[in-house]
Amino acid sequence: MYYFVERMTEDDIDQVQMIERASFSTLWSVNTYRHELRSPATSRYIVARASPTPPPPRTERPSFRRGLLAHLLPGFLGQPPSHTHDFPIVGYGGVWLSVDEGHITTIAVAPAYRGRGIGELLLNGLIDQALELNADVLTLEVRISNIVAQQLYLKYGFRPAGTRPRYYTDNGEDALIMWTDPIRSPAYQEKLRQLRERLFARLREEANESGPLHNDLRLEME
Ligand SMILES: CC(C)(COP(=O)(O)OP(=O)(O)OC[C@H]1O[C@@H](n2cnc3c(N)ncnc32)[C@H](O)[C@@H]1OP(=O)(O)O)[C@@H](O)C(=O)NCCC(=O)NCCS
Protein backbone atom coordinates (compact mmCIF):
# COMPACT_ATOMS: atom_id res chain seq x y z
CA MET A 1 0.00 0.00 0.00
CA TYR A 2 1.18 3.52 -0.80
CA TYR A 3 0.58 6.42 1.56
CA PHE A 4 0.73 10.10 0.84
CA VAL A 5 -0.10 13.24 2.79
CA GLU A 6 -1.86 16.34 1.61
CA ARG A 7 -3.74 19.32 3.02
CA MET A 8 -7.19 18.54 4.39
CA THR A 9 -10.22 20.19 2.77
CA GLU A 10 -13.82 20.58 3.94
CA ASP A 11 -14.76 17.61 1.73
CA ASP A 12 -12.63 15.44 4.00
CA ILE A 13 -14.42 16.25 7.25
CA ASP A 14 -16.76 13.20 7.17
CA GLN A 15 -13.95 10.70 6.74
CA VAL A 16 -11.79 12.46 9.31
CA GLN A 17 -14.63 12.34 11.83
CA MET A 18 -14.95 8.58 11.34
CA ILE A 19 -11.30 8.17 12.34
CA GLU A 20 -11.78 10.67 15.17
CA ARG A 21 -14.72 8.66 16.57
CA ALA A 22 -12.59 5.51 16.51
CA SER A 23 -9.69 7.28 18.22
CA PHE A 24 -10.91 9.79 20.81
CA SER A 25 -13.62 10.01 23.45
CA THR A 26 -14.31 13.70 22.95
CA LEU A 27 -15.11 14.88 19.43
CA TRP A 28 -14.87 18.09 17.44
CA SER A 29 -17.91 19.50 15.68
CA VAL A 30 -18.08 19.97 11.92
CA ASN A 31 -18.03 23.71 12.56
CA THR A 32 -14.80 23.43 14.52
CA TYR A 33 -13.16 21.70 11.57
CA ARG A 34 -14.56 24.29 9.15
CA HIS A 35 -13.27 27.12 11.31
CA GLU A 36 -9.81 25.55 11.50
CA LEU A 37 -9.68 24.87 7.76
CA ARG A 38 -10.69 28.46 7.03
CA SER A 39 -7.82 29.85 9.12
CA PRO A 40 -4.76 28.74 7.13
CA ALA A 41 -2.59 31.58 8.44
CA THR A 42 -2.59 29.94 11.86
CA SER A 43 -4.02 26.41 11.44
CA ARG A 44 -2.97 23.63 9.13
CA TYR A 45 -4.66 20.24 8.81
CA ILE A 46 -3.45 17.32 6.75
CA VAL A 47 -4.76 13.89 5.81
CA ALA A 48 -2.93 10.68 4.93
CA ARG A 49 -4.46 8.69 2.09
CA ALA A 50 -3.87 5.07 1.06
CA SER A 51 -3.53 3.89 -2.50
CA PRO A 52 -3.20 0.23 -3.55
CA THR A 53 -1.13 1.24 -6.56
CA PRO A 54 1.46 3.97 -7.00
CA PRO A 55 -0.47 7.24 -7.12
CA PRO A 56 -0.53 8.63 -10.66
CA PRO A 57 1.33 11.85 -11.38
CA ARG A 58 -0.44 15.06 -10.50
CA THR A 59 0.01 17.93 -12.87
CA GLU A 60 -1.72 20.52 -10.76
CA ARG A 61 -0.76 22.12 -7.43
CA PRO A 62 2.70 23.38 -8.37
CA SER A 63 3.35 24.41 -4.78
CA PHE A 64 3.65 20.81 -3.67
CA ARG A 65 7.44 20.70 -3.66
CA ARG A 66 7.84 23.57 -1.23
CA GLY A 67 7.85 21.41 1.91
CA LEU A 68 11.00 20.60 3.79
CA LEU A 69 10.49 16.92 3.09
CA ALA A 70 10.59 17.59 -0.62
CA HIS A 71 13.73 19.63 -0.09
CA LEU A 72 15.46 16.96 1.96
CA LEU A 73 14.42 13.87 0.10
CA PRO A 74 13.53 14.83 -3.46
CA GLY A 75 14.44 11.39 -4.77
CA PHE A 76 11.67 9.75 -2.75
CA LEU A 77 8.94 12.07 -3.89
CA GLY A 78 6.64 11.40 -6.75
CA GLN A 79 3.88 13.67 -7.88
CA PRO A 80 0.59 13.23 -6.06
CA PRO A 81 -2.47 12.10 -7.98
CA SER A 82 -4.77 14.57 -9.65
CA HIS A 83 -7.89 13.00 -8.12
CA THR A 84 -6.77 12.34 -4.60
CA HIS A 85 -10.30 12.12 -3.29
CA ASP A 86 -10.50 8.64 -4.84
CA PHE A 87 -8.10 7.41 -2.17
CA PRO A 88 -9.47 6.78 1.33
CA ILE A 89 -8.25 8.80 4.26
CA VAL A 90 -6.41 6.66 6.81
CA GLY A 91 -5.19 9.37 9.19
CA TYR A 92 -5.18 13.06 9.88
CA GLY A 93 -3.53 15.69 12.02
CA GLY A 94 -3.39 19.39 12.73
CA VAL A 95 -1.07 22.10 13.97
CA TRP A 96 -1.93 25.56 15.26
CA LEU A 97 0.45 28.51 15.43
CA SER A 98 0.60 30.70 18.53
CA VAL A 99 3.26 33.39 18.07
CA ASP A 100 6.31 31.24 17.34
CA GLU A 101 5.00 28.00 18.87
CA GLY A 102 3.43 25.26 16.79
CA HIS A 103 0.85 23.34 18.82
CA ILE A 104 0.05 19.88 17.54
CA THR A 105 -3.72 19.92 18.08
CA THR A 106 -4.58 16.41 16.97
CA ILE A 107 -3.20 13.35 15.21
CA ALA A 108 -4.84 9.98 14.63
CA VAL A 109 -4.60 6.97 12.37
CA ALA A 110 -7.52 4.65 11.56
CA PRO A 111 -7.19 1.60 13.86
CA ALA A 112 -6.75 -0.87 11.00
CA TYR A 113 -3.80 1.14 9.64
CA ARG A 114 -1.85 1.72 12.85
CA GLY A 115 1.69 0.46 13.26
CA ARG A 116 2.64 1.00 9.60
CA GLY A 117 4.42 4.34 9.85
CA ILE A 118 1.42 6.50 8.98
CA GLY A 119 1.41 8.32 12.33
CA GLU A 120 5.04 9.12 11.76
CA LEU A 121 4.32 10.26 8.20
CA LEU A 122 1.61 12.57 9.53
CA LEU A 123 3.87 13.97 12.25
CA ASN A 124 6.46 14.74 9.57
CA GLY A 125 3.79 16.50 7.55
CA LEU A 126 2.78 18.55 10.59
CA ILE A 127 6.39 19.51 11.25
CA ASP A 128 6.61 20.72 7.64
CA GLN A 129 3.42 22.71 8.07
CA ALA A 130 4.75 24.23 11.29
CA LEU A 131 7.97 25.24 9.52
CA GLU A 132 5.91 26.87 6.77
CA LEU A 133 4.03 28.80 9.44
CA ASN A 134 7.38 29.95 10.82
CA ALA A 135 7.05 28.11 14.12
CA ASP A 136 10.32 27.85 16.04
CA VAL A 137 9.34 25.09 18.46
CA LEU A 138 6.58 22.49 18.73
CA THR A 139 4.49 21.57 21.73
CA LEU A 140 1.54 19.32 22.53
CA GLU A 141 -0.47 17.73 25.29
CA VAL A 142 -0.93 13.98 25.50
CA ARG A 143 -2.77 11.78 27.97
CA ILE A 144 -0.48 10.45 30.69
CA SER A 145 -1.76 6.96 29.82
CA ASN A 146 -1.14 7.28 26.05
CA ILE A 147 2.24 5.59 25.91
CA VAL A 148 2.02 4.79 22.17
CA ALA A 149 1.63 8.46 21.21
CA GLN A 150 4.30 9.49 23.72
CA GLN A 151 6.74 7.05 22.11
CA LEU A 152 6.06 8.62 18.72
CA TYR A 153 6.65 12.11 20.09
CA LEU A 154 9.79 11.09 22.00
CA LYS A 155 11.15 9.64 18.78
CA TYR A 156 10.77 13.08 17.15
CA GLY A 157 12.50 14.95 19.94
CA PHE A 158 9.51 16.01 22.05
CA ARG A 159 10.48 16.02 25.72
CA PRO A 160 8.20 15.95 28.79
CA ALA A 161 7.94 19.35 30.48
CA GLY A 162 5.32 19.13 33.19
CA THR A 163 1.68 18.15 33.41
CA ARG A 164 -1.73 19.79 33.28
CA PRO A 165 -3.72 18.16 36.08
CA ARG A 166 -7.19 16.84 35.14
CA TYR A 167 -6.83 18.34 31.64
CA TYR A 168 -9.13 15.80 29.98
CA THR A 169 -12.74 16.43 30.89
CA ASP A 170 -14.09 12.97 30.03
CA ASN A 171 -12.19 11.13 32.79
CA GLY A 172 -10.19 13.82 34.59
CA GLU A 173 -6.89 12.43 33.32
CA ASP A 174 -3.75 14.54 33.50
CA ALA A 175 -2.03 15.77 30.34
CA LEU A 176 1.69 15.43 29.82
CA ILE A 177 3.09 18.58 28.18
CA MET A 178 5.87 17.97 25.66
CA TRP A 179 8.17 20.39 23.81
CA THR A 180 10.77 20.08 21.11
CA ASP A 181 14.08 21.90 20.86
CA PRO A 182 14.10 24.63 18.19
CA ILE A 183 13.01 22.88 15.01
CA ARG A 184 15.20 25.02 12.74
CA SER A 185 18.37 24.26 14.66
CA PRO A 186 20.99 22.26 12.75
CA ALA A 187 20.79 19.49 15.36
CA TYR A 188 17.01 19.08 15.01
CA GLN A 189 17.13 19.30 11.22
CA GLU A 190 19.76 16.56 11.14
CA LYS A 191 17.70 14.38 13.47
CA LEU A 192 14.69 14.92 11.22
CA ARG A 193 16.65 14.06 8.10
CA GLN A 194 17.79 10.76 9.61
CA LEU A 195 14.31 9.88 10.89
CA ARG A 196 12.79 10.63 7.51
CA GLU A 197 15.30 8.50 5.67
CA ARG A 198 14.43 5.57 7.94
CA LEU A 199 10.69 6.18 7.62
CA PHE A 200 10.85 6.33 3.85
CA ALA A 201 12.88 3.11 3.74
CA ARG A 202 10.21 1.47 5.94
CA LEU A 203 7.35 2.69 3.77
CA ARG A 204 9.13 1.67 0.60
CA GLU A 205 9.74 -1.80 2.00
CA GLU A 206 6.09 -2.19 2.88
CA ALA A 207 5.03 -1.06 -0.58
CA ASN A 208 7.43 -3.57 -2.14
CA GLU A 209 6.03 -6.35 0.01
CA SER A 210 2.50 -5.60 -1.19
CA GLY A 211 3.18 -7.12 -4.61
CA PRO A 212 5.08 -6.74 -7.85
CA LEU A 213 3.07 -3.74 -9.01
CA HIS A 214 3.96 -1.82 -5.89
CA ASN A 215 7.65 -1.27 -6.39
CA ASP A 216 7.68 2.45 -7.03
CA LEU A 217 6.77 4.15 -3.82
CA ARG A 218 5.51 7.65 -4.25
CA LEU A 219 4.93 9.88 -1.28
CA GLU A 220 3.86 13.43 -1.19
CA MET A 221 3.84 16.30 1.21
CA GLU A 222 2.47 19.73 0.49
C1 LIG B 1 -0.52 7.61 18.09
C2 LIG B 1 -0.81 7.14 16.67
C3 LIG B 1 -1.17 8.36 15.82
C4 LIG B 1 0.47 6.50 16.10
O5 LIG B 1 0.24 6.19 14.74
P6 LIG B 1 0.78 4.84 14.08
O7 LIG B 1 0.59 4.96 12.62
O8 LIG B 1 0.18 3.67 14.74
O9 LIG B 1 2.33 4.90 14.47
P10 LIG B 1 3.57 4.51 13.54
O11 LIG B 1 3.37 3.17 12.96
O12 LIG B 1 3.88 5.64 12.64
O13 LIG B 1 4.73 4.39 14.64
C14 LIG B 1 5.59 5.48 14.90
C15 LIG B 1 6.14 5.38 16.30
O16 LIG B 1 5.07 5.45 17.26
C17 LIG B 1 5.39 4.61 18.38
N18 LIG B 1 4.47 3.45 18.39
C19 LIG B 1 3.59 3.09 17.44
N20 LIG B 1 2.90 2.00 17.85
C21 LIG B 1 3.39 1.68 19.08
C22 LIG B 1 3.07 0.66 20.03
N23 LIG B 1 2.12 -0.26 19.79
N24 LIG B 1 3.74 0.65 21.20
C25 LIG B 1 4.69 1.57 21.49
N26 LIG B 1 5.04 2.56 20.61
C27 LIG B 1 4.39 2.60 19.43
C28 LIG B 1 6.80 4.12 18.14
O29 LIG B 1 7.69 5.10 18.64
C30 LIG B 1 6.85 4.11 16.62
O31 LIG B 1 8.16 4.15 16.12
P32 LIG B 1 8.93 2.73 15.86
O33 LIG B 1 8.15 2.04 14.79
O34 LIG B 1 10.29 3.15 15.42
O35 LIG B 1 8.90 1.99 17.16
C36 LIG B 1 -1.94 6.09 16.63
O37 LIG B 1 -1.63 5.07 17.54
C38 LIG B 1 -3.32 6.64 16.96
O39 LIG B 1 -4.04 7.10 16.08
N40 LIG B 1 -3.71 6.54 18.24
C41 LIG B 1 -5.05 7.02 18.67
C42 LIG B 1 -5.14 8.52 18.64
C43 LIG B 1 -4.11 9.15 19.55
O44 LIG B 1 -3.85 8.68 20.65
N45 LIG B 1 -3.51 10.25 19.09
C46 LIG B 1 -2.54 11.02 19.85
C47 LIG B 1 -3.22 12.06 20.65
S48 LIG B 1 -2.06 13.02 21.60
| pTM of the model as a whole | 0.88
Q: pLDDT at residue 215 above 70?
A: no
Which strands form 137-143's sheet, in the order they lie side by side?
Answer: 2-7, 43-51, 89-98, 101-109, 137-143, 175-179, 159-164
The pLDDT, as a whole number, for residue 57 is: 58
C-alpha of residue 65 to centroid of ligand 1, in Å: 27
The pLDDT, as a whole number, for residue 71 is: 44
pLDDT digits (tens, 9 = 90+) for 32-68: 999 999 999 999 999 999 988 876 555 443 344 444 4
The pLDDT, as a whole number, for residue 55 is: 67
Residue nearest to atom 42 of ligand 1 (CA): 108
Q: pLDDT at residue 193 above 90?
A: yes
Active-site residues, by number, are 141, 153
Ligand 1 atom closest to the Cα of residue 109 is: 39
Q: What is the mean pLDDT of the chain?
A: 86
**So what CATH class is 2-209?**
alpha beta
Report domain extents, the chain.
Answer: 2-209
The pLDDT, as a whole number, for residue 94 is: 98
Report the chain's terminal Cα–Cα distance, integer Å: 20
Share of the chain above pLDDT 70, in %: 81
Probe target for ligand 1 pocket from 20, 24, 122, 151, with the most ligand atoms within 8 Å of CB: 151
